[in-house]
Structure 1
């Protein structure tokens, strides 16, 4: 019996340490990277690119995830402090909002994949659909659709009794037990990871096919044309890297959620509950990497993105370097003006009768 308790306590300690470590690893680099993303995607060279607008919109939602959702989850999973488990209104609003934001962020990347497909098409009518105006309409539409598609969570989320990793019955905000909990897990799997991931891969493959076809048909002519194609190719690489990160980070969590809903009626001992809690909390924490690593993925895969980042740092460094010179110049100018004023005063004193 003592060995069982020791094993459970050990698993729970590992869970807490692992979750807090992963969340902090997402939080600190994530905030820095996402703020730099916002600056880069508003630069003149990328500001009018529809794909960059999708990246910018997704970055705004990712910033909400890192600044709001991650700290809440650190308090909840690491220190067992979550107001959603105590107040029904907060329970419904918290999970509804958090699910919408995370799913919408992924769907915006799907729109970016569709935009690259349209942009690379040999059909001029389809290429015209890749525009900033269409991008703004698409972002607004996907946000509205996400809000509507998750409205069932406001109705069916509730505070119920469950057995925690210590084998103690506690109150927990969760989907209503029974059919809806299975439906919700399946819905989250489809809307958050499976469907977006498959669509990203599909349109990524279609885009590559378009690029290969156009290279065979149209020769690359002109320096301006080469620059445009280089930018398009780099945006596609940035998009591919983020797609792979989203697939790897989100799919295990959705599968684990579906597994828990299917096996909820099975009687489990305390060790199994602790093991499942370790797996669940770990894969849930890993999903934040899909939202916090975008800057580093873009920097590694996109030369145009790196160029803009270097310009920003160079400008900041140059301004900081020039400030002391400016200060010294201002001081020298002030001293010269004071000397001139003293000379004028002295001359006026000599001319007095």
Structure 2
């Protein structure tokens, strides 16, 4: 085996190990955390809040990503088992669902940012737009819009024979048209990363500005609606923490996609090609943390959310103790 082959094999081994650890970590964190999100966000004090409705909808989208999309990617990148190559319909639907659902999750968080901006506005008409009715309408529109924005993928994706960097020929669910491939990378980059991240930053800054403007009013009415203000402040911290998480986990992938787009026609040797493919794969798995760790971000950043989680655990513990005591009492003999 030549030195080049050894280097390539080492790169592939390291990449497979790192991505496997990241995939399993994402899956474990996602299943536990997103399930807890559903329990907490459906509590009566939170489920009717527009911001919480966006969080809950994003949680369901993230749960679909972790339970359905992520295992398919795990099998492909870790075990070289590509289920999408067995059926052309599954190939198209799986890739379409992956792109559209991940974009939907980010835009739901973006809508939560917009809701916080409307809620903190001095304009009464804008504050009225921050309502559960508006949230339901926005969620429904997004759920219908995202599939429309990605429906062209159903036409162009196909099962074709491609050459791996190592030189072997395999079947893959991918794109054959290079022009459309470049368009899709740029399209997904804008819809999934750039536009929602830019909107989150803008409306996050506007929310902070509104809060500074309203500080005098809040000071004059410090005794009014204290619980509502505390809840809104908690939701804002949770939202800003979620925005920061999305920027950290999807930003590097976006930078890599821009680099890959501009160097697509550059002649590269086999080692550079393997290194770039490995970096792209690892950054792609890193972006899944934006969908699997929301519960832990909410718990760390939101005091009300932490109290709800603690209350839920205490309730479960209390119910378990009651069942144990009831069982013991039933088994005790009756003395006359």
Question: Per the alignment, in what secondary structure is the counterpart of residue 335 of structure 1?
Answer: coil
- Name the counterpart of 1:345: none
- Indicate conservation of the 8 Å contact 1:237/1:301, yes or no: yes
Alignment of 1:73-222 (within 5 A): 73-219=73-219, 221=221
Contact 1:50/1:130 (<8 A) preserved: yes
Distance in 2 of aligned mates of 1:312 and 1:204: 30
* Deviation, structure 1 residue 188: 0.7
Aligned residues: 336
CA contact (8 A) 2:51 2:115 kept: yes
- Conserved 8 A contact 1:113-1:239: yes
**How far apart are residue 86 of structure 1 and its match?**
4.1
Q: Find the residue that maps to 1:30 and give its secondary structure.
A: helix
Query: Counterparts in 2 of 1:12-23, with a 5 A limit?
Result: 12-23=12-23
Superposed displacement of residue 294, structure 1: 0.3
Question: What's the TM-score, normalizing by structure 1?
Answer: 0.90
Structure 2 residue aligned with 1:58: 58
Question: Which is further off, 50-59 or 220-229?
Answer: 220-229
Task: State the shift of 1:179 in Å.
Answer: 1.7
Structure 1: stretches of 5+ with no match in the other structure: 340-353
State TM-score, norm by structure 2: 0.95
Q: Using a 3 Å threshold, how does the CA distance of structure 1 residues 172 and 267 change in structure 2: closer, same or farther?
A: farther
Tell me how far apart the structure 2 counterparts of residues 13 and 80 of structure 1 sit (CA, whole Å). Answer: 13
Q: Secondary structure at the match of 2:59?
A: helix
1:236-257: CA deviations, max 9, x gaps? Answer: 1110111011111112223323
Corresponding residue of 1:350: none
Q: Is the 8 A contact 1:34 1:295 kept in 2?
A: yes
Deviation at 1:273, TM superposition (A): 2.0
RMSD value, Cα: 1.7
TM-fit CA distance, 1:220: 5.1
Gaps of 5+ in 2: none
Q: CA deviation at 1:328?
A: 3.3
8 Å CA contact 1:153, 1:175 repeated in 2: no
Query: Do residues 8 (structure 1) and 19 (structure 2) align?
Result: no
| Conserved? CA contact 1:253–1:283, under 8 Å | yes
Give the match for residue 45 of structure 2.
Answer: 45
CA distance in 2 between counterparts of 1:38 and 1:21 reads 26
Aligned partners of 1:164 and 1:273 also within 8 Å: no
The structure having more radius of gyration, on CA atoms, is 1
